[in-house]
Each structure stands twice: as C-alpha cells, then as structure tokens.
Amino acid sequence: MRLLLLGGTEFVGRAVAEAALAQGWDVTVFHRGRHAPGPGVRSLHGDRTAPDGLTALAGGGPWDLVVDTWSGAPRAVRDTARLLRDRADRYVYVSSSSVYTWPQPAGYTEEAPVVEGAFADAGRTDYARDKRGGELAVLDSFGADRSLLVRAGLILGPYENIGRLPWWLGRVARGGRVLAPGPEDLPIQYVDVRDLAEWVLAAAAAGRGGPYNVVSPQGHTTLSELLRACVTVTGADAELHWADPDIVLGAGIAPWTDLPIWVPPGSDLHTTLHGANTSRAAAAGLRCRPVTETVADTWTWLCELGGVAPQRPDRPVVGLDPETEAKVLAGRP
C-alpha cells in the first residue's frame, strides 16, 4: 500500500507512519519541516497555508491512501483534497467528536447532529467548525464512498503533544499528596494513539467510508484506574487524595484543562466527552489496549525525553498550578 501522510512528524501522524511502516507500506510524509519525521519514510516539504504550498505534491502519486490530521482552516483540506482526488484512491480525515452539536446525550452515534456554520472553503474559526469544514472538504472531492471520517475522542499515548496524560504522569512523579478529582469510579473514554493508527489503516484498506466514532467503548476504564497506573509506573511516593467534584469545582478549578481528562459526572461535559457510542468502530475492528499499557508506554517515552513532553503551540498548556492544589488539599478556599 502506498500512503501519503499529511503531517506525520508528531502525535497522531507519527503513530500512523510507524504503524504503516510496520506493515510494510510505502510511506510518504508531507510536512513543513519543523520536526524531523521518523526513519523509513519519504519526506516532502510544503506549507499548506502558503501560496504554492502544495507544489511538492503536484507531480507525486499515485497513492492508495491519504491520511490527513489537519485541524486548522478547512480551506487547506479543500485545496489538498482537490489536488489529490485523481491521484489517490481514498482519503482519511482524522476529525473529532467535537463536530457534534453541544451537548449530546450519552450513547450518541454517528447519526447525531453536527455543528452548523461550517464550510469547506472557510478560514480558521473554531475547532469544531474547522474540523467539520475539513470533513466537508474531503467529501466534496472524494465523495462519501472514498472518504473515511475518523471522529476521534480523547487521544492519549506516546508522542502526545497536548499535555494531558504527560501532565498527570509528571504530577504523580513529583510525589506527595495528589489532588484526584472524584468520583474514583468515574468512567472515561479515550483511544490510544497506536490503536487509532492501526484502525485507520485497516479500515481504509478494507474500503470503509463514512463517519466513525473512534474511541474506547464505555466502561473501558475509569479515572481511578488511569491515575493508579500513573502511580505504579512512575514508582513515585504519591498518595491520591480523592476530592468530591463539588469541592473541586468550588475551588474554581476548570474541568478538562486544569485537571486534564476529568470532567464532573452527570454534566454535559461528561456525557459528550465520555459518552459516545463506539459500536460501529468496534464492528469495523477497533480494539483498545488496557489503560495500564497506554500509561506505561507514555511514561517510558517521557523518560526518554528527559521528562519534558512537546507542546503544540496552538493549544493551551494544561494542568493545575501547585498553589491551588495545595489549598484544596489543605481544605482552604
């Protein structure tokens, strides 16, 4: 299989490249050159936001598959898809569950309504409409049969450049009493980036099209299992101090950002971020490894980097400041 990977040097793109190479695929990576791609790929340089930024692709191909992880202005996806529609058999766009209207009830499927006001030729607006606009751009050039829309939820694992699991690992590694937002048995949904990558390649090779919610099934793990795995793999002298959600929220701590991954139970945030129906992706072969493996492998990768994870410049830095944590642990407002 001949794969053209748009991006491919960080997080999801890098995981897809490694999965494809492991299967013996021929991999071409088109990127801006800011980060070195992994070994074994053919590298092409270009900036999709610049005039003539796709020149390096103009004479390339044909490719069996294009995988695109773009999350900026949809018009970049539009221009690339138009250029490649006669040079590639199938186009995979790594989208997001954020394309659904907010909020969604627990158990929502791919048939749920999506955000309005998204356009394939739009400039950058907000994350949800940008991702939906990217979907529309792919559909416009490749049609529903040749387009695979991967609506991923929370993505964790090695190479994460958003900072969610790396922050928890770093905090636990420092030891001491760690503020853990309750309840302990709070169910969470995520997908290991390597499981996502392997599913994308298999689904595309099988000729699948349309939207898929690609995230672990409900009940796959809990926040307690994830945080206890952090304690185990770091070997830290850390004590998880579980706090009632009302105490956490009352301290002005923001779910999802100040305490990554966590959102309070029963909230619109939780039902939307951790309540997707993933049966369609499971029926198409999605398999999710245990949370202990995701946490352990992410810690190993972090240690190889000296404990400091990369950070995407277009995403906010996540994590709770030590002073606020200390106040909550001490019972102070």
CATH code at 176? 3.90.25
Residue 182 DSSP code? S
Q: Are strands 42-45 and 26-31 parallel, antiparallel or unpaired?
A: parallel
Does residue 322 lie in a domain region? yes
How many residues make up the chain in this entry? 333
Residue-range definition of the domain harbouring residue 323? 158-187+218-269+290-329
Q: Please tell me the distance from the alpha carbon of residue 32 to that of residue 38, in angstroms, as a whole number.
A: 14
17 and 133 in a single domain? The answer is yes
164 and 244 in a single domain? The answer is yes
164 and 295 in a single domain? The answer is yes
Q: What is the pLDDT of residue 333?
A: 60
The strand ranges marked E within the chain are 2-6, 26-31, 42-45, 63-68, 88-96, 147-152, 155-156, 176-181, 187-188, 191-192, 210-214, 221-222, 238-243, 255-256, 259-260
The strand ranges marked E within 97-181 are 147-152, 155-156, 176-181
Q: What is the pLDDT of residue 155?
A: 98
pLDDT digit string (tens) for the chain, length 333 residues: 999 999 989 999 999 999 999 999 999 999 998 888 889 999 999 999 999 999 999 888 899 999 999 999 999 999 999 999 999 999 999 999 999 999 999 999 999 999 999 999 999 999 999 999 999 999 999 999 999 999 999 999 999 999 999 999 999 999 999 999 999 999 999 999 999 999 999 999 999 999 999 999 988 999 999 999 999 999 999 999 999 999 999 999 999 999 999 999 999 999 999 999 999 999 999 999 999 999 999 999 999 999 888 898 888 899 999 999 999 999 876
176 and 324 in a single domain? The answer is yes
173 and 254 in a single domain? The answer is yes
Q: What is the pLDDT of residue 219?
A: 86
Note the pTM of the prediction, 2 decimals: 0.96
298 and 175 in a single domain? The answer is yes
CB count within 10 Å of CB 98 equals 21
114 and 169 in a single domain? The answer is no
Does residue 200 lie in a domain region? no
Does residue 263 lie in a domain region? yes
133 and 251 in a single domain? The answer is no
19 and 139 in a single domain? The answer is yes
Q: How many CA atoms lie within 13 A of 132 on its CB side?
A: 17
Please tell me the total count of domains within the chain.
2
Does residue 225 lie in a domain region? yes
Q: Any idea what the CATH number is for the domain that residue 38 is in?
A: 3.40.50.720
